[in-house]
A and B are shown apart, each in its own frame.
Chain A
Amino acid sequence: MGKGLMKYKGIKPVMIMMAGLTLIQTIAIILQAKWLAEVISALFAGAKLQEQTGGIGLFLLAFMVRQGCGLLMQKTAYRFAEQTGQSLRKQVLSKLFELGPRFAGQEGTGNLVTLVLEGVTKFRNYLELFLPRMLATGITPVLVWLYVFTLNKTSAVILLVTMPILIIFMILIGLAARKQTERQLQTYRTLSNHFVDSLRGLETLKFLGRSKGHIDSIERVSDSYRSATMRTLRVAFLSSFALDFFTMLSVASVAVSLGLPLVQGRIELLPALTVLILAPEYFLPVRMVGADFHATLDGKEAGEAMESIIGAAEEEAAKVAPVPAGADLRWTPQSTMVLRGVGLTHEAKRGPDENAGDVAGKAEEAGAATADNAAMAGDLAAVPQPDGVRGSNEIEEEVKEADIVEEAAQAGNADYAIEAGVRPSLDGVDLEIRGMGRIGVIGESGAGKSTLIDVLGGFLRPTAGSIELNGTVLGDLSPVGWREQITYIPQKPYIFSGSLADNIAFNKPGASPAEVKAAAEAAGLGTLIASLPGGLDEPIGGGGRPLSGGQEQRVALARALLSERPVILLDEPTAHLDIETEYELKETMLPLFEGKLVILATHRLHWMRDMDRIIVMEQGRVAETGSHEELMARQGTYYQLAALQREGLR
């Protein structure tokens, strides 16, 4: 590990400085041992204490130089880790915002946030631990050994032989432990999730009258979890046992091997004592690597996961064709947009099954589930912890997989989609949109409604076809010029922590209070504002007053109105609301749509009568377009959808 380290900015001077410090530290360690041994052997020989003051002073000096070097190294490593972590986070976040909501949705908000916050901490931890450990392992044992060699060859041989044995045993046992964990991974997961599963299902258990009887089950499962964990720990702890055992054995052997020649008078006390003091120092760096192994591995993986997001974004960016200079991306009543053969293929949603290949990584990272747990990591090394944090590895895997899909699609392999078991979300969509008006997009679940909205909003880049906006051919609709034309109202609009006014003025931070108030009134928020103690300044969102689903939609609507952007995209704005709220919201919305280009995707058929034009989607294709009356007369897909909803239940 650590090969990729050299690419981080500013690592070279840091490495050089730390290598220098390690060197000084090692010399201090040797001198400290030497001077201490000198003082002791002099006292042993009957020298006066007063004469030893110089020696003692030197020992203390070497001791403090050693500790001082340690402090400086920690500080240097910390600063470097801090800076590198910060720059990595900045990159990841800005790339994340480039990749947009689709990517965030695919990866899961929770996972991304965990990756950015905990992943960066882990990564910093890794850099901070890894650099000094690597240098110490490379420098200290070698120098100490050389010095011991000059003092006593037998001891040097013992030390030399022990090191590889120790490392081999550690690795072998580590592997055995991992294997054991992998075998039981599924059991572990079930057992460790059982409690949280039970708590979350408490209400359901209560309804079923099973909530009290379930206590036994919790007790039983907790016990099985304990025995399963202990079984694994028995193996996992062997790894550090081997480390301990061989170190201690080696030190003991050195001591004994020094004893006999001493008895025979073949060596002096001074070198013998020096060797004895140095023996533990020889092993110390390796022991520390062993102790921090899981924390570093974890951090390294987190770093790689973040790198892969950056990589994905850069790849995306490379595919975006530049917008021709002078292109007019503004939407006016005279504007046109033409979609030609637009298709979009992205990876099929991965089920939990497909994560099996990830097992090893999971086991690793579960050992040190959080940065806090780093110290525990050695202990619970191989035991997955029930923390619900999804593997950073998994993201990486998914991203890699996405890359493969993209590459294959780029290679123009037309049959790829079928081979890989993915089906296109959009398939050869031809569409022409002119000027203002209300356009409804309807179809069953999975027909491609949301994907079409995402393409129009510039969140998704089509993998096939072209888009022509006002005569300019574009690969996708992500250019800022177009984004400034649109507002987007999803099923669950984003209400951020802040005042109601801030939320409404989100797209137009400079709006005057009067403008905000007018937009709020128009969106039907008047009664709500009147009922709030703080009025427009009432805090909403996380930590503030919770809003109902209908009120959230109205805030989003006010936001759209205030921004005065000509295009409004709506994705299923009312399906989750109760029917009365839906009705009122519709009554508010319809008049506000006047004079704008509104594209509304929904499976609620009632909206369609109020649309100027309806696009009917079916399996990623545009099945038909036209007004409600035209489509009803045609008796096609739309007619059938309507027939289904017209009647009650059959």
Chain B
Amino acid sequence: MKEQGQQGQERLAGREQPARREPWITPYLRMYSGRFALYLILGVMTLLAASMLMFTSGFLISKSATMPYNVLLVYVPIVGVRAFGIGRAVIHYVERLVGHDAVLRILSKMRVRLYRILEPQALFIRSRYRTGDILGALADDIEQLQNVYIRTVFPSLIALVLYAAAVIALGFFDWTFALLIALYILILVAVLPYISLILTRKMDTEVKRERNGLYQKLTDAVMGIGDWVISGRSADFLHEYEQDEAAVMHKERKLRAWARWRGLIGQLVVGLAVVSMIYWSGGQAAAGQIDYTLIAAFVLVVFPLADAFLPVSEAVQRLPEYRESLNRLERISGGGDGSGEGRAEGRRPAGSTGRKGRRSEDLGGVSVSPEAIAGAASSAHLKLEQVRFAYVAGDSNSVDGVTLDIPQGKRVAVIGRSGAGKSTLLKLIQGAIAPAAGAITINGMPPADFGDDGIPRIISVLNQSPHLFDTTVANNIRLGRPDAEMEEIARAAELAQLGGLLAGLPQGLDTPMRETGQRFSGGERQRVALARVLLQNTPVLILDEPTVGLDPRTERELLSTIFQSTTGKTLVWVTHHLVGAEEMDEIIFMEHGRILMRGTHAELMDREPRYRNLYHLDCPGD
């Protein structure tokens, strides 16, 4: 596994690690064994019907050529020919429907399974796979797995069943000849696929990897197209890129050439089988073992039967294609508490996700009484005392001796550059990770004790890019509290000052958001998310850089809405700018996990020249 990441998600696939692997293909074969059996039977019957059509036809006209006195003698084969002809079409139609239905059922189960695996690590996914769309890739992987069944497993199984059936049927006539035919088919269903797999596996993988490389290279270049144009080096890039393409093309050409030759070899085997069949049936007929009318039947049946065996090589050769998807899924499911990978990423606390995973399995992790949760849900006192935390034991602390006292209703701004420990601080407050030293409490109890279901009743989060789901505005807001009445949703929207926007939309709150809310501007999206958080109505609200990417006017307007609509709530506001800092009760400056300076806006303006300089960037006084 040497894939150099196409996207960041490859980080996962690109690392050898001892984590146990969970199978993704076989359990479902077992789970749906009934449907699969049906599908298999239908698949075999389809091919049998096609074969029998030719067999009966050959027999029919041979029999007719003997000019029987009674036409009724050929009546049975006439009916047979028609029945097999129509039957093959009908059975094939049903077969495909049954197959797709089974696979779609599996897909549904796989989706739920993947979701269950990812759910406990929800808060860490973003930081663990920093770049790339790992989630999109995993979803695609599952889609990809449907091909395993439809294009590889099923055709191979059907071929095997038919193989056995053909050899046994022939065995009734002549065991030695049956063995010869068995040998021919063996070449088609085993020898050729095996050789093919051996020959192409390496190059297939290489082609795939190199194509990923091309993908990355081109994405890179198109993103930086302005730089290429200005540097005047576009031609250099194009030349280099075409060379890479040519290298891939060369390999692909070889693969294709082999595929063509493989096809030819397969056909040669079929041709030889036909010839053998002619000799055998002719000999048998001459010896009086079989009727002369069966010669045509036996010879003609070879062609449709071969259709079942020829595609096996291709089906088997696809195996490496699924490997990458399977690897990714197997690792993600097996590595649920494998800390090696977390360590490698340097972001994930050793073992902490595993602990979390267990907690969400058995709800016994909630060690706080429902009354205490209800109490904290109306008023929460946050306390941090000398909190320390390091993602990797022995490394420098991400949060290093932070002490904070945040009674209900206090508003705190946290500022610092990336890597100063702000995100870690937020995760500690949410109980997603536990401090290595010191204590964090909500109303005197550690946040983790409130459990996965308790924390969202106490703390809500508005971050840089809250996800808006592909449904209506109202449904997106309703997620804050599913049992909310329409009026409450409308009120939350009003509080988030969405009123004007919604009034301008013909469908108002029932306007669809579209995928990730593309219909709305950045500021508008944040307001919808704000309405959702307001409906969630928790005593504590974490604001994690909610205004990054907004222009100054929108930034100010959004902040002013947030501050107005959250009176009485505790705010922990991580910010990259200082606009609105004067609204805060305390401002904390973090650097290397420590608090560098703290105080109110007025105090800091007065005391700290550094703070003054920074503040003037946002609010240039004159």
- Of A310-318, A463-471, A539-547, the one touching chain B: A539-547
Query: Which A56-107 residues sit within 8 Å CB-CB of chain B?
Result: 56, 59-60, 63-64, 67-68, 70-71, 74-75, 78, 82, 86, 89-90, 93-94, 96-97, 100-101, 104
B347 CB to nearest A CB, Å? 12
Over the window 202-245 of chain B, the binary record of Cβ atoms lying under 8 Å from chain A Cβ atoms (1 yes, 0 no) is 00000000010011111111111111111111100110011001
User: Which residues on the B side are within 8 Å of A68 (C-beta)?
Assistant: 264
Whether B405 sits at the interface, judged by CB under 8 Å, is no
Knowing A190-B470, A209-B456, A252-B57 are in contact, say whether A229-B104 is a contact too (CB < 8 A).
yes
User: Complex Cα distance A252/B125, Å?
Assistant: 60
Task: Contacts A509-B233, A542-B5 given; indicate if A649 touches B226 (C-beta within 8 A).
Answer: no
Q: Does A487 contact B (CB under 8 A)?
A: yes
CA distance A565 to B221 in the complex (A): 22
Question: B552, A605: Cβ atoms under 8 Å?
Answer: yes
CA distance A90 to B241 in the complex (A): 10
Q: Separation in Å of the A71 CB from the closest CB of chain B?
A: 5
Asked, given contacts A49-B283, A60-B275, whether A251 binds B518 with beta carbons under 8 Å apart, the answer is: no
**Given A52-B278, A104-B225, are A578 and B418 neighbors across the interface (CB < 8 Å)?**
yes
Of the candidates A63, A199, A234, A606, which one forms a contact with B616 in the assembled complex, judged by CB atoms under 8 Å apart?
A606
Interface string of A539-570 (1 = CB under 8 A from B): 00111001011100000000000010000000
The 7 residue pairs across chains A and B that have the minimum distance between CB atoms: A494-B224, A209-B456, A252-B85, A201-B467, A222-B108, A262-B64, A255-B57
Instruction: Please measure, in the bound complex, the distance between the C-alpha atom of A591 and the C-alpha atom of B68, giving whole angstroms.
Output: 108
* Cross-chain contact B225 with A582 (CB below 8 angstroms): no
A93 to B295, CA, bound (A): 60
Binary A-proximity of B567-588 (CB < 8 A = 1, otherwise 0) = 0000000001111111100000
- The distance from the CB of A466 to the nearest CB of chain B, in whole angstroms, is 22
Q: Flag if B226 contacts A101 (CB, 8 Å).
A: yes
A272 at interface by CB-CB < 8 Å: yes
Report yes or no: B220 in contact with A542, Cβ–Cβ below 8 A. Answer: yes
Closest residue on chain B to residue A388 by CB atoms: B136
Given A263-B64, A372-B321, A583-B614, CB of A44 within 8 Å of CB of B296: yes
Of B118, B230, B249, B536, the residue contacting A199 (CB under 8 A) is B118
Known: A63-B271, A223-B108, A259-B60. A207 touches B461 (CB 8 A): yes
- Cα distance A138–B581 when bound, in Å? 77
Which A-chain residue is minimally distant from B11 (CB atoms)?
A543
- Contact sample, A vs B, 16 pairs, CB 8 Å cutoff: A64-B267, A82-B253, A94-B234, A100-B229, A207-B460, A208-B480, A209-B457, A212-B119, A241-B93, A272-B64, A380-B100, A496-B220, A563-B231, A603-B551, A644-B553, A645-B619
Q: How far is the CB of B149 from chain A (nearest CB, A)?
A: 11
The 8 Å CB contact of A117, one of B215, B229, B293, B418, is B215
Does B140 have its Cβ within 8 Å of any Cβ on chain A?
Answer: yes
CB of A213 to closest CB in B, whole Å: 8
CB pair B151 A577 closer than 8 Å: no
Given contact pairs A211-B122, A212-B452, A644 touches B582 in the complex (Cβ within 8 A): no
The 8 A CB mask of B59-76 against A (1 = contact, 0 = none) is 011111101100100100
Expressed in whole angstroms, the minimum distance between the Cβ of A477 and any Cβ of chain B is: 11
- Report B414-430 CB contacts with A as 1/0, cut-off 8 Å: 01111100000000000
Q: Which residues from chain B contact A67 at a C-beta distance below 8 Å?
A: 263-264, 267-268, 271
Per-residue A-contact encoding for B368-408, CB less than 8 Å = 1, 0 else:
00000000000000000000000000000000000000000
| Residues of chain A with a CB closer than 8 A to B143's CB | 385-387
- How far in angstroms is the closest Cβ of chain A from B283? 6
B123 beta carbon closer than 8 Å to chain A: yes
Size class of the B contact interface (CB-based, 8 Å) = 35 or more
Q: How far is the CB of B302 from chain A (nearest CB, A)?
A: 10
A363 to B145, CA, bound (A): 22
CB B370 to nearest CB in A, in angstroms, measures 15
Counting chain B CB atoms within 10 Å of each CB, the highest count among A110, A215, A563, A579 belongs to A579
Q: Which residues from B are CB-within-8-Å of A222?
A: 107-108, 111-112
Q: Is A486 engaged at the interface, CB distance under 8 Å to the other chain?
A: yes
Which of A206, A380, A444, A458 has the most C-beta atoms of chain B within 10 angstroms of its own C-beta?
Answer: A206
CB of B570, distance to nearest CB on chain A (Å):
16
For B217, the closest partner residue in chain A by CB is A497
Cβ contact within 8 Å between B260 and A74: yes
How far does the alpha carbon of A213 sit from the alpha carbon of B227 in the complex, in Å? 47
CA distance A249 to B296 in the complex (A): 20
Question: Across the interface, do A248 and B556 meet the contact criterion of CB distance under 8 Å?
Answer: no
- Contact residues of B between 126 and 141, Cβ < 8 Å to A: 126, 130-131, 135-136, 138-140
* B97 neighbours in A (Cβ, 8 Å): 230, 233-234, 237
A559: min CB distance to chain B, Å: 8
A195-B115, A209-B457 given. 18 additional CB < 8 A pairs? Answer: A36-B299, A44-B295, A190-B471, A197-B467, A199-B139, A201-B468, A206-B123, A206-B452, A230-B97, A252-B81, A280-B303, A372-B321, A488-B227, A494-B227, A577-B576, A579-B617, A644-B553, A645-B619
Give Cα distance in the complex from A260 to B272, angstroms.
33
Q: Which residues of B contact A252 (CB under 8 A)?
A: 53, 57, 81-82, 84-86
Complex: A543 Cα to B7 Cα, angstroms = 8
A249 touches B278 (CB 8 A): no
Q: A40-B299, A44-B295, A486-B230 are in contact. Are A256 and B81 (CB under 8 A)?
A: yes
Residues of chain A with a CB closer than 8 A to B453's CB:
209, 212
Q: How far is the CA of A3 from the CA of B164 in the complex (A)?
A: 48
A348 contacts the other chain (CB 8 A): no
Q: Is the CB of B122 within 8 A of A113?
A: no
- Chain A CB within 10 Å, residue with most, of B90, B460, B618: B618
A29 within 8 Å of B (CB atoms): no
Instruction: For the complex, give the distance between the alpha carbons of A527 and B38 in Å.
Output: 67
- Residue of B whose beta carbon sits closest to that of A110: B219
Bound: A71/B119 CA distance, A:
51
Contact status A60-B560, CB under 8 Å: no
Task: Using known A-B contacts A244-B92, A605-B552, determine if residue A109 contacts B223 with beta carbons closer than 8 Å.
Answer: yes
In the assembly, what is the distance between CA of A97 and CA of B418, in Å?
A: 34
Interface check B364, CB cutoff 8 A:
no
* Set A206, A495, A548: member contacting B418, Cβ < 8 A: A548
Q: Which residues of A contact B150 (CB under 8 A)?
A: 376, 379
Question: How many Å from the CB of B293 to the closest CB on chain A?
Answer: 8
Contacts of B299 in A (CB 8 A): 36, 40
What does the 1/0 interface line of A356-390 toward B look like (CB < 8 Å)?
00000000000000001101100110000111100
Known contacts A101-B229, A245-B86, A352-B514; A237 and B457 CB within 8 A of each other: no
Q: Chain A 267-298 against B: per-residue CB contact (8 Å), 1 yes, 0 no?
A: 01100110011001000000000000000000
Alpha-carbon distance A230/B98, docked complex (angstroms): 9
Pair A237/B96 contact, Cβ less than 8 Å: yes
Give the distance in Å from the alpha carbon of A179 to the alpha carbon of B25 in the complex: 35
B285 part of interface (Cβ distance < 8 Å): yes
Docked complex Cα distance between A486 and B230 (Å): 7
Tell me the bound Cα distance from A283 to B448 in angstroms: 69
In chain A between 295 and 325, which residues have their CB closer than 8 angstroms to a CB of chain B?
none
Judged by a CB distance under 8 angstroms, whether A588 is at the interface is no
A46, A196, A379, A604: residue with the most chain B Cβ atoms closer than 10 Å: A196
Q: Could you tell me the distance between the alpha carbons of A225 and B130 in the complex, rounded to whole angstroms?
A: 31
A649 vs B140: C-alpha distance when bound (angstroms): 45
Contact call B96/A202, Cβ cutoff below 8 A: no
Q: Do the beta carbons of A632 and B151 come within 8 Å of each other?
A: no
A525 on the B face (CB < 8 A): no
**Docked pose: A226 CA to B415 CA in angstroms:** 48
| In the complex, residue of chain A having the shortest beta-carbon distance to the beta carbon of B303 | A280
B554 CB contact (under 8 Å) in A74, A215, A445 = A445
| Of the residues A94, A104, A351, A604, contact of B519 by C-beta under 8 Å | A351
Q: Which residues of A contact B609 (CB under 8 A)?
A: none
Which B residue's beta carbon lies closest to that of A484? Answer: B232
- The answer on a CB contact under 8 Å between A197 and B551 is no
**Please, which residues of chain A bring their CB within 8 A of the CB of B532?**
208
User: Chain A residues near B463 (CB, 8 Å)?
Assistant: 203, 207
How far does the alpha carbon of A110 sit from the alpha carbon of B616 in the complex, in Å? 39
Least distance between A118 CB and chain B CB atoms (Å): 9
